[in-house]
């Protein structure tokens, strides 16, 4: 069996997969957004470059914009979250 086409409903997030044998769809249950910012989870904490490859931020609202700031307030990196969780490699937007 081979996949002939894949389409996504941008409103519901439902994925449609067409194969030689027919059409199926899949829709995951989205993670709900948090009520308060104190429900965010950032881990591992502390982050150690020698032990960890990614920093995770969990409990975000869907389609959140995340900005990582330096101690002087300048934006180090920014990215968006599509499903309540995002990972960051600890580098700035230039890869340093």
**Residues 63 and 51 sit within 8 Å (Cβ to Cβ):** no
Express each pLDDT in 38-96 by its tens digit.
778 899 998 887 888 899 988 888 778 899 998 888 999 998 887 788 889 888 889 88
Express each pLDDT in 26-39 by its tens digit.
887 665 555 566 77
Which residues, including other chains, have CB under 8 Å from residue 24's CB and lie 6 or more apart? 16, 17
């Amino acid at each position: 069996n081979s996949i002939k086409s894949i389409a996504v409903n941008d409103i519901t997030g439902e994925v449609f997969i067409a194969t030689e044998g027919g059409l199926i769809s899949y829709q995951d249950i989205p993670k709900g957004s948090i009520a308060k910012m104190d429900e965010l989870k950032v881990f591992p904490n502390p982050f150690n470059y020698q032990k960890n490859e990614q920093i995770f931020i969990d409990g975000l609202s869907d389609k959140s914009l995340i900005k990582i700031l330096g101690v002087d307030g300048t934006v180090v990196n920014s990215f968006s979250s599509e499903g309540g969780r995002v990972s960051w490699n600890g580098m700035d937007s230039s890869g340093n």
